[in-house]
Amino acid sequence: MYKLLLCWRYLLTRYLALVCIVSVMLGVATLIVVNSVMAGFSTKLKDRLHGLLSDIDVEAITYRGMDGLDEKMRRIAEDPFLGQEVEAMTPTMEVFAMLHFEINGEKILRPVRLIGIDAKGRARLGGFAEHLLNPENRADPSFELRGEARERWLREQQPMALPQRFPDPVSAPGAPPAPPPPEPSLFLPKGIILGYAIAHLRDKTADASKQDKDFRILNPGDEVVVSTLSGAQTADGLKLDPVSFRCAVVDYVKTEMSEYDANYVYMDLEDLQHLRTMHGRATSIQMKLKNYGGYSHARAVADVLQKKFPSYQASTWEDKQGALLAAIAVEKGILNVLLFMIVGVAGFGILAIFSMIVVEKTRDIGVLKALGASNGGVMKIFLGYGLLLGVVGATVGTGLGVAFTVYINEVEKFLSAVTGADIFPRSVYYFDKIPTDIQPASVLLVNLGAVLIAVLFSVMPALRAALLHPVRALRYE
């Protein structure tokens, strides 16, 4: 009992020990903030990636891709296992292309990844329609030129086709009314959906607080040209030729993943098949599972698909992004090791301060032994003291870290305002807010680690106290 009492009293009366608490607290808080922010980034990144990529796809790596799409999809749907697992699937054609367009009479050329999809089918897989900018398209994704885009295109390209506001012809009284003017037959180009960053420039010098820093260079209805390769099977083998396709911007995909927003361009699958003379073909079949259920489950489904289509490659989205995900995990691990050294530093602080306290308390230790306290009991006082410091430091640190994490965006705003530097440049991350994810397991682990270090570093001073000779301790001046 005296151990508890003395631990508690030492905690309340030794202000030097508060330094230990503060150092443990800072270490724990830093670890929690960094872990939460990194977990937030990685969760958000995973969500985004997973949102953009289908759960599983079966991909042909050859130029000609795969044919018999309907038959393949039927085979998947009719498979007793796969039929249970797969919720939706759609064929997709992906190819490199060149996008060119004009701004103020200047030609601009951009390499892009051209993806041919069936807009409605792709929307069923998720991660496409919800990223479209135009709410009308979000509800009903399509490559059709509608509304604003249609009007702009007509105004720019076919002004004569627009309804003219001529005064109604004045008919002679009593004469039959004039027949309505014939509907003008309009040519409407095929639509194309661009990645947000292709069609917008970001003003990087703009004030951090300014919401709309993006300047649109391609409006809905603007004409762009897509050039890619077309392959025709001839007697001499596959003959590749460059082909071009004029189309009009319909909408933008804003995924907030700069990699995708800056490179991806979507068009109708049939148009792309036509352009590349690959009728009825695609490069992959993308699938959404009813229940993704973690990597191992998805991988099991992919394995079944692989067996069914041995000449193609079946992979989950995590397989495709493996390198990136592994890099995030490694980064997090290394950061944790480095930051834990902060707690290690706190440990050395505890060692030093405890050693001083043991020297200061030498006589009291002698008294306790004279009164019948055992060596183990004296040792437990100091171990308990270390434990108490660790627990208090870790608890306060957890509170601080969690509060900092919860209000991290406010803190960032404040710091940005005070220092004038953009601490979280949104143009780099395409996130509006710093994402955080406080994981209870990692918070618990950090706490346990900090407490363990506090106790471990108090072992040496505690041993010293325990082994003090009572008579020498009593005589200590």
Partner 1 sequence: MLDASPLLSAVGLVKAYRKHAINVPVLGGVDLDVHAGEFLSVVGASGSGKSTLLHLLGTLDRPDAGEVFLDGERIDNLPSERRDALRNQTFGFIFQFYHLLPELTALENVLIPRMIAHSVLGWWRARRELKRQAAELLDRVGLGHRLRHKPRELSGGEMQRAAIARALIGRPRVLLADEPTGNLDADTGAEIVRLLRDLNRQDGLTIVMVTHNLELVAETDRTVRLAAGRTEEAVLPGAV
Return residues touching partner 1 (CB under 8 A): 1-2, 4-6, 9-10, 12-13, 363-364, 366-375, 377, 469-471, 474
Pick 57 or 364: Cβ nearer partner 1: 364
For residues 350 and 458, the answer to whether their CB atoms sit within 8 Å is yes
What does the block give as tokens for 228? 């890619």
CB of 366 to partner 1, least distance (A): 8
Euclidean distance between CA atoms 230 and 275, whole angstroms = 7
Nearest to 194, CA basis, from 264, 126, 137? 264
CB of 359 to partner 1, least distance (A): 15
Alpha helices (H) along 290-439: 294-308, 317-320, 322-360, 362-370, 375-406, 408-419, 426-429
Euclidean distance between CA atoms 288 and 301, whole angstroms = 11
106-117 and 264-268 as β-strands: parallel, antiparallel, unpaired?
parallel
CB of 393 to partner 1, least distance (A): 21
For residues 90 and 121, the answer to whether their CB atoms sit within 8 Å is yes
237-253 and 190-195 as β-strands: parallel, antiparallel, unpaired?
parallel
237-253 and 223-234 as β-strands: parallel, antiparallel, unpaired?
antiparallel
Q: Report residue 375: phi and psi, to 5°.
A: -60, -45
Pick 158 or 374: Cβ nearer partner 1: 374
What does the block give as tokens for 369? 């032994």
Pick 269 or 379: Cβ nearer partner 1: 379
Q: Which residues 6+ apart lie within 8 Å of 35 measured at CB? A: 332, 336, 439, 442, 443, 446
CB of 385 to partner 1, least distance (A): 12
CB of 349 to partner 1, least distance (A): 22
CB of 8 to partner 1, least distance (A): 9
Q: Which residues 6+ apart lie within 8 Å of 48 measured at CB? A: 255, 256, 257
CB of 208 to partner 1, least distance (A): 52
Pick 12 or 162: Cβ nearer partner 1: 12
Pick 51 or 470: Cβ nearer partner 1: 470
Pick 188 or 474: Cβ nearer partner 1: 474
CB of 386 to partner 1, least distance (A): 17
Pick 179 or 372: Cβ nearer partner 1: 372
Q: Which stretches of 164-261 are assigned E, i.e. beta strand?
A: 190-195, 200-202, 214-216, 223-234, 237-253
